[in-house]
């Protein structure tokens, strides 16, 4: 593959930046680079970043409850990499892998500790579905696809099993090179303090800003619960995981004002909350965090380097020689837009972020969204 030069681009911090890539890898980064007869992609002064990573989606299209199509939530929306968060388990992830290889978008997966994944809402109510040997086997078979494990810890999922599924997840994690563990939180049981007591540094708490009583904010005091602060200080990572019912503006604003920031910004997107809202796409979720108070440079870092580092995807999320040639080209447009959270609360964005071009592995796709 011949060398390609990205010309006339700028980073979200405002600096001019140009890049040379070939064979899917970045080979040079500088403020200005001479084309010297090489193919040029002219960014026309638009912003660009390392490719956006949506680190919590559901995109195995053969499921019934939560499913979508990788390219419809990925490349077509300015997202170069998606991480499916536990849609499949050990019994069906091989099929998911075969389909994922056909996508233009980079697809990775967190393995649900329940062997069929989310075939039914209560996948952790029957603990015979949690088979550690089977989990270990499939992780060994698909080491480049499975980048973590997932346990959903809310009352509709666990039945009468309390905190036990999470303890099993931690045992599985310990037996599999301490792979990243994402934990879904929702309504009790189990109580959030029980969950955080079991989680460790580097584990990912998703749906961190939900508006439920079992969430991070004490509705009586309007403050973040002290045991949540302790987990945050101890290195538990907080992920947005917007979803249909898991992002609340007031909780996010309360946390922001207290300087408790999400580590990563993700959508928990699937076909229904993409089509009917309130999620729609990653860009809309980014706009919501901007209205909360997050700066654009902070937001871009959380969907590039922070997301890549969280899952040890060290060739992604950065613009530097040797990294993958994945880029998202986008505009910031000063136009108002009404935004709604999972609980029907409204905010008015004053600025929109609009992806216009996506480059994945050195291949360019125009979005014009």
Binding annotation for Zn(2+) = 56, 58, 150, 184, 207, 268
What is residue 159's three-state secondary structure? coil
The kind and range of the H/E element at 250 are: helix 249-257
The kind and range of the H/E element at 228 are: helix 226-233
Structure letter (DSSP) for residue 276: S
Backbone angles phi, psi at 202, to 5 degrees: 90, -15
Which residues have C-beta within 8 Å of that of residue 76, sequence separation ≥ 6?
A: 367, 369
Decide: 111 and 89 in contact? Cβ < 8 Å. yes
CA proximity to 192, closest of 180, 179, 209, 178:
209
| Alpha carbon distance 115, 79 (integer Å) | 28
Tokens of 156: 């509709």
| Alpha carbon distance 212, 216 (integer Å) | 8
Q: Which residues of 183-207 are buried (b: 16+ CB within 10 A; e: fewer)?
A: bbbbebbbebeebbebbeeebbbbb
Residue in the structure block whose two tokens are 């009404």: 338
Binding residues, as ranges, are 56, 58, 150, 184, 207, 268
Cα R_g (the chain), whole angstroms: 20
């Amino acid at each position: 593959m011949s060398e390609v030069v990205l010309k006339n681009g700028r980073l979200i911090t405002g600096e001019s930046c140009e890049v040379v890539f070939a064979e899917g890898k970045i080979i040079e980064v500088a403020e200005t680079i001479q084309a010297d007869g090489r193919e040029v992609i002219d960014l026309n002064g638009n912003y660009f970043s390392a490719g956006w990573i949506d680190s919590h989606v559901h995109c195995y299209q053969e499921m019934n409850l939560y499913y979508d199509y990788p390219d419809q939530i990925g490349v077509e929306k300015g997202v170069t990499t998606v991480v499916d968060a536990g849609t499949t388990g050990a019994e069906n992830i091989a099929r998911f892998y075969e389909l994922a290889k056909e996508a233009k978008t980079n697809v990775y997966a967190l393995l649900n500790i329940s062997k069929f994944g989310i075939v039914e809402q209560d996948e952790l109510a029957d603990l015979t579905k949690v088979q550690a040997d089977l989990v270990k086997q499939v992780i060994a078979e698909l080491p480049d696809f499975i980048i973590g494990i997932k346990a959903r810890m809310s009352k509709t999922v666990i039945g009468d099993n309390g905190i036990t599924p999470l303890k099993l997840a931690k045992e599985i994690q310990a037996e599999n090179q301490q792979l990243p563990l994402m934990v879904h939180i929702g309504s009790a049981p189990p109580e959030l303090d029980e969950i955080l007591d079991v989680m460790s540094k580097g584990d990912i708490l998703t749906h961190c800003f939900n508006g439920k009583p079992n969430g991070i904010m004490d509705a009586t005091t309007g403050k973040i619960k002290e045991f949540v602060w302790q987990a945050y200080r101890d290195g538990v990572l907080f992920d947005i995981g917007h979803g249909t019912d898991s992002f609340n503006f007031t909780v996010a604003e309360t946390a922001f004002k207290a300087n408790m920031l999400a580590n990563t910004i993700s959508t928990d997107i699937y076909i229904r909350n993409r089509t009917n809202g309130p999620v729609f796409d990653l860009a809309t979720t980014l706009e919501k965090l901007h209205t909360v108070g997050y700066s654009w440079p902070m937001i871009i870092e959380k969907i590039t380097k922070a997301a890549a580092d969280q899952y040890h995807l060290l060739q992604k999320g950065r613009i530097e020689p040797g990294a993958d040639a994945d880029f998202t080209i986008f505009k910031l447009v000063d136009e108002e837009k009404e935004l709604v959270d999972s609980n029907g609360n409204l905010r008015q964005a004053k600025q929109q972020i609009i992806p216009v071009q996506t480059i994945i592995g050195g291949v360019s796709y125009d979005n014009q969204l």
